[in-house]
Amino acid sequence: MAETLFDKIWNQHIISDLGDGNDLIYIDRIFLHERTGSVALKSLEERGISVRKPSQVFATIDHIVDTLPGRGDETMMPSGSQFIESFRESVQREKINFFDLNTSRQGIVHVVSPEQGIALPGITYICPDSHTCSLGALGALAWGVGSSECEHALATNTLVKKKPKSMLININGIPKDGVTAKDIILHLISKHGANGANGHAIEFQGETIDRMSIESRLTLCNMAVEFGAMTGIISPDKKTIEYISGKAFAPEKGDQKLAEEYWASLKSDDGAHFSKVIDIDASKLNTYVTWGTSPEHAIEIKDKIPSIDDANSSKENTSIKKALDYMGLEENDAIRGTKIDAAFIGSCTNSRLSDLRVAASILKGNKIAPGIKAICVPGSSKVKKEAESEGIDKIFKSAGFEWRESGCSMCFFAGGESFGEDERVISTTNRNFENRQGKKTRTHLASPATVAASAIKGEITAAHLTENET
């Protein structure tokens, strides 16, 4: 029987069919961060249960920690330092692979994992964080779990999971200059809704995917959860193998050939059944930005904010009204030219070296607009070091950006730092929910290029205006 890529990995990891659609699944690798992983470790400790396979568990500090230069355990969040210290004690006691603050491997979990070879094709991989789906870009079956599920996996290397349906998203065509993976995923969510992939695992295929770099694929898969999916996944190819080769926790030379033979089998069979198929012509897309309080509230930058009268239901009508009120915007207004107060480049979506290079290419020789607060937070210590070796930090600082240490920072303000009330921020993050970056902060999601260009102009604009956007 023809199988999808998702089917193959799932079926290879079934320990037992529990009935009612539930399977007992073997979990290969687990990644923890201090905000949610600490809860699971503390619960195990209180019950006298140890981590089953510490060598297959990884941990870092990224969520609560400050990203200001010279940081330590002290945080802006009340009791944050105690949180960090408790987590450090727990992972050290369990002898888990630990990337502590101010070490070369520290960073945001979903940035660190691919760059260290922790997420691999064909493995099952979980983390108590919703954007774990990012790692599907490498052909891993990766998804976010709650603290209680994480606890169970730490103790048993298993999880009980109902198998989702499979969805295929074909993306073909050569994107225009300036149209990125971020723009493509915002287009998908805006067209089909934030719940468009509910109950599904997504496989991305097509010419556009083949042409994408691994880091662009990571951005695409990162926001699969914003589309309602359990995860997103891409079949590994030569780019994947080249990317993984030689990384710290990837197969060593003696095992590399066997691993690559297995990875080559990880693709959907001809005739494999998908419950839903979506086709996208990437050549027709332009630059996207969000206007409201959900990633589905996204439009091309040349377009106007939707009218309440365009709503397809009373529920959608209410949603638009509420979003416009929170964002301080008017229906039918142009989104391009909307004044901003701040710009943020960072998060597990867009804080990798390629993201910073793109933003730096736009910022070089320019200054951000007067009154704009602009912050760049590299995704990992490794990214920060590599960017600094290329002089990217100097470009950002010369333009007027703050250059930070790695971490989640103001993707959301768990660390205690936030933007101001009613401030309008253009951001490379993945969520623009109410109060996400601070109390009553208004967040617009966009690509690094768009954020950099908007910071320079002091208003929402595109870095590369296509013929249809001018």
The domain in which residue 361 lies consists of 291-457
Is residue 120 domain-resident? yes
- Same domain membership, residue 338 and residue 248: no
pLDDT band at 76 (very low <50, low <70, confident <90, very high): confident
Residues whose CB falls within 8 Å of the CB of residue 205, separated by 6 or more in sequence, listed in order: 168, 169, 170, 171, 234, 235, 268
Task: Please give the pLDDT value at position 245.
Answer: 94
Task: Please give the pLDDT value at position 465.
Answer: 60
pLDDT in tens, 12-69: 999 999 999 999 999 999 999 998 898 899 999 999 999 999 999 999 999 999 999 9
Question: Which of 76-80, 155-159, 283-287 has the weakest average pLDDT?
Answer: 76-80
pLDDT in tens, 262-281: 999 999 999 999 999 999 99
**Model confidence at 195: pLDDT above 50:** yes
pLDDT in tens, 397-437: 999 999 999 999 999 876 678 999 999 999 999 999 999 99
- Same domain membership, residue 305 and residue 248: no
Higher pLDDT, 83 or 160: 160
Is residue 270 domain-resident? no
Residues whose CB falls within 8 Å of the CB of residue 192, separated by 6 or more in sequence, listed in order: 227, 278
- Total structural domains within the chain: 2
- Among residues 153, 124, 154, which one has the least CA distance to residue 139? 124
Q: At 375, is the secondary structure helix, strand, or coil?
A: strand
- Same domain membership, residue 439 and residue 300: yes
- Same domain membership, residue 191 and residue 324: no
Is residue 114 domain-resident? yes
Indicate the residue type of 94: E
**Model confidence at 468: pLDDT above 70:** no
- Same domain membership, residue 183 and residue 298: no
* Host H or E run for residue 87: helix 80-93
Mean pLDDT value across residues 336-349: 98
Q: What share of the chain is helix, strand, coil (3-state, %, to 5)?
A: 35, 20, 45
Q: What CATH number is attached to the domain comprising 185?
A: 3.30.499.10
Mean pLDDT value across residues 123-141: 98
- Same domain membership, residue 192 and residue 59: yes
Task: Please give the pLDDT value at position 467.
Answer: 45
**Model confidence at 362: pLDDT above 80:** yes
Quote the Cα angle for 444-71-110, to 5°.
50
pLDDT in tens, 429-444: 999 999 999 999 999 9
Task: Name the β-bridge partners of 127.
Answer: 144
Q: At 26, is the secondary structure helix, strand, or coil?
A: strand
Q: HSE (CB half, 13 Å, CA atoms) of 84?
A: 23
- Same domain membership, residue 369 and residue 409: yes
Laid out side by side, the sheet with 200-205 consists of: 231-233, 200-205, 165-172, 276-281
**Model confidence at 333: pLDDT above 50:** yes
- Among residues 108, 125, 114, 155, which one has the least CA distance to residue 378? 108
E runs forming strands in 92-134: 97-99, 124-127
Q: Are strands 231-233 and 97-99 parallel, antiparallel or unpaired?
A: unpaired
